[in-house]
C-alpha cells in the first residue's frame, strides 16, 4: 500500500476516493487536525464508515474522541489533570516490571508469538489505570477485538472470554448468543457494545462506593458522571489497547527489517517505530462548512479522511521516508494525531514501547523472525495478529 499511497501523494495532496476525500500530505493532514471548527469530529464521528444507525451515531458522539470544542475541552481538561507526568511516572515503574516479566517468560520458551505474548502489557496497564480487577482484563481484550477487528472475521467472531469476577459475569449475561455456527449474530457488534457498557456501569457504581487508588477513582471523586465514565471506559478500552498491541509488534517488525541498524537511544528508536509502522492508519472528520483544501473544493457535510500512514512518509518532511532509521531526528510523525485530539495516552504508549524494547535489548540473545507475520484485515489499524520469533545467539 505504501507504493500506491506514494504515487497518489505525488499527484496531489487531496483526492476524491469513493464517498470521502483522502488527505495524504503532512501539511494538509496537520491543517485538518488543528481546524476543528471547519473539520468536525462530532458531525459524523471519526471513522471512515458512518455509524450504522442514528442511535449508533448518538452513542459514538458521547465519547470525547467524537466531540468538538468547547464540550471536548471540558472533558479533556479533567483527564489531563489525571494524566499528569507524575501519574505516568508512577505507572512507568510497574510497566517496566511487567514488560521484563512478559518478555523474559516468552523468551524462555525459545520460540514464541511476539504479538500474542506482548498483548498482555497494554491490558495490564489499562486495568491498573481503571482499577479493573486483573482477572477481567481478558474481557477488555475480547471487546476491543470486536470493536476494531470487525472487518476481519477471525476477530469479529471471537468471543472467547469466560469467567472473571462477578462484574464480568453480570455484564456477559447480556451478551448476544452466538449462532449455530458458533459465530456472533452480527460481527459489527461495535455499534451497541451493551456488555461493555454494563461492565463499565457496574465498575462505576463500585468505585463510587469504595474508591481505589487508581486514576479513574480520582476522576469520579471529581466532576465525572457515571455516564461519562462509561464513555471513557469504552474509549480507553479500545484506544489504549488495540493501538499498542499492533504498535509493539510493528516496532519489532521494524527492528527485524534492519537488524544491523544500531539502537543507541531507545526513545528515538520508539518514535521511528511509531512513524514507520503507523499503528492507526487514518481518522476521519466531516466538513462543517464549505472550504478549500489542497486546491480542492470541499462542501459542508462531506467526509475528510486524514491518512497518517501517508503523511508519515511524506518526503517533504522525512528524508528517505521508507527507511526505518532508529536514529532519525527530528521526527515529526503524526502517529498520535495533532491538535486538540492529540492522543491522550501518548506518554503511556511511549512508556510501554520503551519498556518492551528495553526488555528485548536486555535478553541474553537477539530475537529473529521464525516465520512470516500474520496481518489483520483492516483499513483502520495496521494490525499484527501473529509474529513468530525465536531467541538466537547474538
| Residue ranges in contact with ligand HEM by CB under 6 A | 33, 41, 46, 64-65, 76, 235-236, 239-240, 243-244, 247, 279-280, 283, 335-337, 341, 343-345, 348-349
CB of 249 or CB of 337, closer to ligand HEM: 337
CB of 159 or CB of 243, closer to ligand HEM: 243
Grid cell digits, residue 279: 499503528
CB of 251 or CB of 373, closer to ligand HEM: 251
Which position's Cβ is nearest ligand HEM?
A: 345
What DSSP element (H or E) covers 374? Answer: strand 374-375
Per DSSP, helices labelled H in the chain are: 2-11, 26-33, 54-61, 71-82, 85-107, 114-118, 120-130, 137-148, 153-157, 166-172, 194-209, 215-221, 226-239, 242-257, 266-277, 308-311, 346-361
CB of 348 or CB of 389, closer to ligand HEM: 348
Query: How far is Cα 21 from Cα 49, in angstroms, rounded to an integer?
Result: 13
Q: How far is the CB of 60 from ligand HEM (least distance, A)?
A: 11
Query: How far is Cα 81 from Cα 359, in angstroms, rounded to an integer?
Result: 30
CB of 57 or CB of 235, closer to ligand HEM: 235
Query: How far is Cα 147 from Cα 234, in angstroms, rounded to an integer?
Result: 10
Q: How far is the CB of 15 from ligand HEM (least distance, A)?
A: 20
Q: How far is the CB of 337 from ligand HEM (least distance, A)?
A: 3
Q: How far is the CB of 200 from ligand HEM (least distance, A)?
A: 14
| Angle between helix 242-257 and helix 137-148 axes, rounded to 10 deg | 80
Q: How far is the CB of 183 from ligand HEM (least distance, A)?
A: 29
CB of 27 or CB of 174, closer to ligand HEM: 27
Q: How far is the CB of 234 from ligand HEM (least distance, A)?
A: 10
> Coil, helix or strand for 366?
strand
| 343: DSSP letter | -
Amino acid at each position: 500500500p505504501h507504493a500506491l499511497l506514494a504515487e497518489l501523494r505525488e499527484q496531489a495532496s487531496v483526492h476524491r476516493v469513493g464517498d470521502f476525500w483522502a488527505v495524504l500530505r503532512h501539511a494538509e493532514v496537520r491543517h485538518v487536525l488543528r481546524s476543528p471548527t471547519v473539520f468536525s469530529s462530532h458531525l459524523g464521528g471519526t471513522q471512515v464508515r458512518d455509524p450504522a444507525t442514528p442511535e449508533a451515531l448518538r452513542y459514538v458522539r458521547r465519547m470525547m474522541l467524537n466531540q468538538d470544542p468547547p464540550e471536548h475541552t471540558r472533558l479533556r481538561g479533567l483527564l489531563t489533570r489525571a494524566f499528569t507526568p507524575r501519574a505516568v511516572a508512577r505507572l512507568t515503574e510497574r510497566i517496566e516490571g511487567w514488560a521484563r516479566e512478559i518478555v523474559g517468560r516468552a523468551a524462555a520458551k525459545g520460540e514464541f508469538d511476539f504479538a500474542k505474548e506482548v498483548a498482555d502489557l497494554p491490558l495490564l496497564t489499562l486495568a491498573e489505570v481503571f482499577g479493573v480487577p486483573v482477572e477481567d482484563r481478558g474481557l477488555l481484550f475480547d471487546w476491543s477485538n470486536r470493536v476494531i477487528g470487525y472487518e476481519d472475521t477471525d476477530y469479529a467472531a471471537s468471543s472467547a472470554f469466560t469467567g472473571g469476577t462477578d462484574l464480568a459475569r453480570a455484564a456477559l449475561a447480556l451478551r448476544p448468543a452466538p449462532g449455530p455456527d458458533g459465530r456472533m449474530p452480527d460481527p459489527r457488534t461495535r455499534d451497541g457494545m451493551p456488555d461493555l457498557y454494563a461492565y463499565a456501569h457496574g465498575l462505576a457504581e463500585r468505585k463510587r462506593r469504595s474508591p481505589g487508588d487508581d486514576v479513574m477513582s480520582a476522576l469520579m471523586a471529581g466532576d465525572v458522571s457515571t455516564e461519562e465514565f462509561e464513555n471513557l471506559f469504552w474509549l480507553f478500552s479500545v484506544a489504549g489497547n488495540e493501538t499498542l498491541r499492533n504498535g509493539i509488534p510493528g516496532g519489532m517488525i521494524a527492528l527485524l527489517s534492519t537488524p544491523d541498524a544500531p539502537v543507541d537511544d531507545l526513545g528515538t528508536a520508539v518514535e521511528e517505530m511509531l512513524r514507520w509502522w503507523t499503528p492507526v492508519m487514518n481518522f476521519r472528520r466531516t466538513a462543517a462548512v464549505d472550504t478549500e483544501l489542497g486546491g480542492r473544493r470541499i462542501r459542508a457535510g462531506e467526509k475528510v479522511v486524514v491518512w497518517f500512514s501517508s503523511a508519515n512518509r511524506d518526503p517533504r518532511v522525512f528524508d528517505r521516508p521508507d527507511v526505518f532509521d532508529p536514529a532519525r531526528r527530528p521526527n515529526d510523525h503524526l502517529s498520535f494525531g495533532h491538535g486538540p485530539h492529540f492522543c491522550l495516552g501518548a506518554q503511556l504508549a511511549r512508556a510501554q514501547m520503551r519498556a518492551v524494547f528495553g526488555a528485548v535489548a536486555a535478553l541474553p540473545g537477539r530475537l529473529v523472525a521464525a516465520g512470516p507475520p500474520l496481518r489483520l484485515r483492516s483499513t483502520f489499524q495496521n494490525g499484527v495478529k501473529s509474529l513468530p520469533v525465536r531467541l538466537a545467539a547474538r
